[in-house]
Each structure stands twice: as structure tokens, then as C-alpha cells.
Amino acid sequence: MKFSIMRSLDTKQYPSLIGQSVEDLESLSIALGQPSFRGRQLFDWIYRKKVDDFTKMTDLPKSLQEKLKVYSLHPLKILNTNSSSSKKTQKYLLTTKKGMTIESVLMRKKNRATICLSTQVGCAVDCSFCATAKMGFVKNLSVGEIIDQYFQLERLSDTKITNVVFMGMGEPFLNYKNSIAAAKLLNHEKGINLGARRITISTAGIIGKIKKFTKEKHPFRLAISLNGSNHDQRLKIMPITKNQTFQNLLEAIKVYTNQSRKRITIEYVLIEGINNSKKDSLKLIEILSQIKCKLNVIPYNEIDSVYKRPSEEGIHVFLNPFKNAPFPVTVRWSKGQDIDAGCGQLATNINEQYR
């Protein structure tokens, strides 16, 4: 990042400041003829105080304020907002500087306000039940484009943001470096200072990156989209299972929980006629009893596809065997389905990406 900022000074292609680390901003300050501590002051104004106007950064000299005016703070702009009928969920359409669009979601439940962040434009994983997959893969979002979703949505929220989940458009572990850097900025004690336990990164099961995440001992919560009780079943709806096998994924999960001593969240999208039988329930109990985990069952949010959501009765038939399971089981009754803001429903019109 230091090199990119220095190069931008030469080419006049100025980066957005949201997304830059303390070290990046220190380097920028030096390049602008200021001592490095000015970068730390700038970091404080941007991330902790969340001030958008350079002229209101009162402990920065006016000469520096003037030089900073060529920089933009935000790499994203909000184009549209859509609220659910309950008013507890809002979906936001945002655009990058190059005109590509992404969606983010703000969800409220009791004293919790959670932002669902996107990490890519489109997605390369190609899960057949997911709307984002229909877009294909367009690009990885930058650190700034990921974390600016937090800034943009927090500014419009009437309640404090308590949780962040990397579960929007895209596969976070196929944009690993930027996703981790964004999580670190959210967690930075001299910045936003959101607790690591309140930041969850979800992956469809990129085994190499799960191992990397384990080795690097990141403090953030980890969630895995399992969505099947065996290899062949998962392969039908998640093509990555061909190379990221069911058994190898389970082994990577076990290593993570053993080494981190943290509970992992197993996400399970419940689809009628695919993975919702009592046999599946019993198999999951057998598999997950060996893992320190929580099972999060997500009744399928329908999109324009061949898949269907189980009936209410069918959902309860699937859940009944878990009454005596040795691990916690929750049901995510997704909010905002009426505005396509539920899990797996985020997508933008690919024909509008390059307007």
C-alpha cells in the first residue's frame, strides 16, 4: 500500500483514503512534506471520529488540509435504498468509482444492528441456488470498497452498528487479502474499534484459505457454508465441492476449531428435496458432534431458480432430530425477503456494470 500511494502522487491518480492503514497514511503524510504523526492524526479523524471534511480536522495544519483536498475519502456512493415492509431491513445499492454496482444490507433485531458486506462484484463460486452466482465474477473489491460499505450504511442508520458479517456478494476467501485487511480496520482499537467477536467472515469452503486463516490466528469469527450432509449432495448445488471435497473441508474445519479453540458456525441452506430430509438431520448430527460448532439453519430464500423453500412443516420435521444435539442449533429466518435482501438473494444487473 505504501508503494501505491507514493506512485499515485507521481501519476496524480489519487486513491480514496478510506481503506488506507495507519502506515499508509503515515507514508502519505511524509510524501506531502509532513511528519509521520500527521498520518496517525488523519487515521483518527477518518476511522474513529468519522469526519468527512478535511477543514474540520482541526489539529491538521491548513497547508496539509489544502493538499488533502485532491483526495477523496469515499470510494463508494449510494445509488438507491430499499426498505422491507417491517422497516427492520434495508438494502443499499452502491456504486464504485468505475460505475460497478454492489449491494449491502443493514438488519436490525432487538438491540443488534448488523451490516452484511460484499467483497466482490459478482462471484466465481457458482453455487446454483444463489442469485449472486448468476452474475458471474466481475472483480474483487478493494479494502476501501469493502469497508466503505460500513461507513456509508452507518451514516444512515438510526442505531449503532453492533455486528458486521462478510456474507454479501462474493466469496471473501477468494478476495482474502482485502477481506482480512478490511476486518482488521474494523477491529482497529484506535479506529472503528469493533470487537473481533462481532466480525464474522463466511466462506463457501475455500480450504487453502481456511488453513491460512487458521495459521495466521485471526481473532474474527469464521462461518462455513456446508449446505449438505455428504459429498455428492453438496456437489449438486456447490460446484467447488469437486476440488474442495466434503471430507477435506471437514478436516480443515476440525483443525481450525482444535487450534483456535473457537466455535465455528456451520451454515446450512435448507432446500426442498435436496438436503432437508430426516436422514440429512441425523447425518449432520453424526458429523458435527465431532466439531466445536454451532449449526445455523437457513430456510432457502427463493430466487428465479428450480429450487424451492421447504414448507413450514418440512422445516420443523428437519429440525426435530436436533432437539438433543450436542451443539447449539439456530434458525436464521432471513429478513428482507420482500426486497430480495435475504441470504443468497443479493445481485445487481450485470448489464449496468459498465455504464
- Residues marked as catalytic: 103, 343
Q: What is the DSSP string of 126-193?
A: --TT-TGGGG-EEEEPPHHHHHHHHHHHHHH-SS---EEEE-SSS-GGGSHHHHHHHHHHHH-TTTT-
- Residues 116, 110: Cα–Cα separation, whole Å: 17
Provide the grid cell at 177.
487479502
- Side-chain-side CA neighbours of residue 140 (13 Å): 12
DSSP string, 29-84: HHHTTS-THHHHHHHIIIIIS----GGG-TTS-HHHHHHHTTS-S-SEEEEEEEE-
Q: 2: Cβ–Cβ under 8 A, 6 or more apart, which residues?
A: 23, 24, 27
Residue 263 amino acid letter: R
* Residue whose C-alpha cell is 430466487: 303
What are the backbone angles phi and psi of residue 77, rounded to the nearest 5°? -135, 145
- CA-CA distance, 174 to 164, in Å (whole number)? 19
- Mapped onto helix, strand or coil, the DSSP state of residue 331 is strand
Please state, in angstroms and rounded to a whole number, the distance separating the CA atoms of residues 17 and 142: 12
Cell 462471484 belongs to 123
* Residue 137 CB-density burial (10 A; 0-12 exposed, 13-18 middle, 19+ buried): middle
